[in-house]
Amino acid sequence: MSATTDDRTTRGTAGPMGGVWIVVADEAWPAALEVARASGGTVTAAVVGPQPLADAVAAAGVPVVWVEPARDTPAEAYAVNLAAQVAAASPDLLVSTGGPAARTLLGAAAAAAGASLVPGVLAVTDGPRWTVRRAVLGGEAIETLTAPAPLALILAADEAADRPAATGVAPGTVAKADTAAAEMVVAGTQPAPPASGIVDARTVVSFGRGVHAKADVALVERLAQALGAEVGCSMPVADDLGWLDRSRYVGRSGQHISPRLYLAVGISGAPQHLEGVRGAKVLAAINNDPKARIFRRADYGAVGDLYEVVPALIAALQQ
């Protein structure tokens, strides 16, 4: 059952004091809701997007504070004003997925609420002093930390993979917030984004968090050179680590490419990433996890340590 404007949409302000809030700006919200509910608090959602998105969240049994963006206005433009409404509820915990808009909204809400920000989160339990598990070292290790409320969490990319929302629950209400977009003034000439070359490349070698250190990017670059390929990456490599320019990020909110060969090195295969390579003629993957999602889509796969497989592949190509 979903909400409609006629029967359950009201106009108001932020929801109940305290509790847990999820910040929603894209379709990956079920992952944030799952983590938020596991924390044990009462969950409220701040949603910036079209009404079907707000209705879907409400149908999962969550009261929603909804902002409907004006035409041609990005969700990020509402960050400051929405943050003030969320902060007024004195939240103990804020959760969002890693999408660009959701992270911007969460960051603004965290600043307004005085919450500490933690990225790469896998799970959280036991408020008001929260125990958080998060991925570190490019996903190769799990760190457990504790922190007092208020806390703001950005889920790890793999945790934001598509998940079904809860069913069989009483739907929540949708309160339409009186929130205006921040005034945006653009002056001068906007520079063109840097051309990465991956959009038109016949062959692309992309890498993810399986690459342990920035210095190791050179190994991937040598493989790309041997193949005559361009180098791409997953979202965390560009956004979180800053190892490559965002023009080389392949995924739902990044580049959408259609190379003849796409070779994924150390990429788990989250749906957000694979959406960017739907048009690839051949998809090959190197990953040390035989159950990695990437192998479900790959035409060819090598299960092994990329630090062993890639040098061997380079040597074979050079011969």
pLDDT digits (tens, 9 = 90+) for 15-36: 444 689 999 988 888 989 998 8
Both tokens of 1, joined, read 């059952």
User: What pLDDT does residue 206 have?
Assistant: 96
CATH number of 203-318: 3.40.50.1220
Q: Does 203-318 match 5-177 at the fold level?
A: yes
- C-alpha to C-alpha distance for 5 and 55, rounded to whole angstroms: 9
Cβ 181 vs Cβ 69: under 8 Å: yes
- C-alpha to C-alpha distance for 123 and 159, rounded to whole angstroms: 9
Q: What is the CA radius of gyration of the chain?
A: 21
Cβ 265 vs Cβ 224: under 8 Å: no
pLDDT digits (tens, 9 = 90+) for 235-263: 889 888 899 998 999 998 889 999 999 99
Using the structure block, give the residue that is written with the tokens 């509820």. 89
CATH number of 5-177: 3.40.50.620
- C-alpha to C-alpha distance for 258 and 261, rounded to whole angstroms: 8
Map out the domains of the chain as residue ranges: 5-177, 203-318
pLDDT digits (tens, 9 = 90+) for 259-311: 999 999 999 998 889 999 999 999 999 999 999 999 999 999 999 999 999 99
Q: Quote the percentage of the chain above a pLDDT of 90.
A: 37
Both tokens of 283, joined, read 């998809």
